[in-house]
Amino acid sequence: MIRPYWFFPAPSTKYLIYYLFVVFSILFGQFNEKYVEYKSLTKRVYNFTKVEFITEEGEFNDAICTLLLPGLSEDSPPLVDIYYKKTNSKWFTESLYRKRMRFTFQDGVVKLDRSNFWAWDELEEIKVVVIY
């Protein structure tokens, strides 16, 4: 009696199938393009120094929480990032310390929540980056 896999015993057949699966997934799972470039996006960077985001009374200036973006569409939410720089320090971003940014947008206006600007009295500079 001849077995169907007389070259390979039954346990080896399982390993052959695993091997073929790995080889085919490597060969046919490659992508030629690592990224997609969107040329229709607009990037705006708002830069605020300590003089601008702290009022004369020593309070946080809520005026920097409202950003006017005339080309903003309500169908596509913007990407908003906040970068901070402390005295004698490197830049760091909000996303490392919080789970998500809080903002609303409508009719070309992005309204940031004041709670996004934590420890603002210790900062030297703030950059708000909006991509839409």
Task: Tell whether 20 is covered by a domain.
Answer: yes
Do 24 and 59 lie in one domain? The reply is no
Whether residue 118 has pLDDT greater than 80: no
In-domain check, residue 4? yes
Q: Do 53 and 16 have their domain in common?
A: no
Q: How many domains, in total, are found in the chain?
A: 2
Verify that 83 and 109 share a domain, yes or no: yes
Same domain, 75 and 13: no
| 24/53 same-domain check | no
Q: Please give the share of the chain, as a percent, with pLDDT higher than 70.
A: 82
Six-digit token string for 23: 């080889």
Query: What pLDDT is recorded for position 45?
Result: 93
Q: Could you tell me the CA-to-CA distances from 41 to 3, 15, 33, 98, 111 in Å, in that order?
A: 63, 49, 19, 25, 20
Strand partners, 54: 60
**Domain shared by 67 and 16, yes or no:** no
Domain enclosing residue 105, as ranges: 43-131
Question: Which has more pLDDT, 85 or 6?
Answer: 85
Q: Could you tell me which of 72, 64, 128 has the C-alpha nearest to residue 105?
A: 72
The CA distance from 95 to 91, in Å, is 12
Pick the residue with more confidence: 100 or 80? 80
Q: Does the residue 38 lie in any domain?
A: no
Same domain for 52 and 13, yes or no, is no
Residue 93: is its pLDDT beyond 80? no
* Contact criterion met (CB below 8 Å) for 30 and 23: no
The pLDDT of 3-21, averaged and rounded, is: 68
Is residue 36 a part of any domain in this protein? no
Q: Are residues 48 and 112 in the same domain?
A: yes
**pLDDT band at residue 47 under the 50/70/90 scheme:** very high
Note the pLDDT of residue 92.
80
Same domain, 60 and 101: yes
The pLDDT value given to residue 11? 63
Residue 2 in this model has a pLDDT that exceeds 70: no
9 with 64, same domain?
A: no
Model confidence at 95, pLDDT cuts 50, 70, 90, reads low
Say yes or no: 20 and 61 in one domain: no
User: Per-residue pLDDT for 66 more than 80?
Assistant: yes
Do 14 and 75 have their domain in common?
no
Rounded alpha-carbon distances, angstroms, from residue 118 to 44, 55, 83: 22, 16, 12
pLDDT of residue 10: 58
